[in-house]
Amino acid sequence: MEWINGKSIRFLLGDYEGDSGTHNSSVGETLENYDISEGQLMVMMGVALARMHQADIIHSDLTTSNMMLTSNFGNPELVLIDFGLSFQSGLVEDKAVDLYVLERAFASTHPESESLFAAVLESYAAELGNKVWSPIGKRLEDVRLRGRKRSMVG
């Protein structure tokens, strides 16, 4: 196990206040300490998730608490942590559910942050390319309609 010298994204985003772009981190470090904007952070998240999914790794517990921002020689670096529930899968369904879990985490932890998650998805899609993103995006819509469960009975 390795110690990550940084702050969780949940802490850094604090209580998000919607389109005004303001947030209330409790004490200490903010995104400015890492010389990064919220938009840049969302792009980093999307790219990191796309690369993880390209390697067919499904995290299964994506939240802003399981992402940390650290500084590597003055450059901000996003680190995904807590892979205790992770598994390997190339299924579009599993990747869509992974994204849905993060979307729900954003909604519950950072109210009125829809624009932030939209930016994550935009950079995720850009990193994957339309051919790979299209089926995942379509499946994500299906997962949203039925919730997290894999199959519907009835």
Active site residues: 61
- How far is residue 95's CA from residue 97's CA, in Å, rounded to a whole number? 5
Would you report the helix, strand and coil content of the chain in percent, each value rounded to 5?
Answer: 55, 15, 30
Give the SS3 label for residue 143. helix
User: How far apart are the C-alpha atoms of 86 and 98, rounded to whole Å?
Assistant: 10
Helix axes 38-54, 114-128, angle to 10 degrees: 40
Whose tokens are 């010298």? That residue is 5
Give the residue from 48, 69, 70, 43 showing the smallest Cα distance to 59: 48
In Å, how far from its chain's centre is CA 139? 17
From CA 144, how far away is CA 19, in angstroms rounded?
A: 23
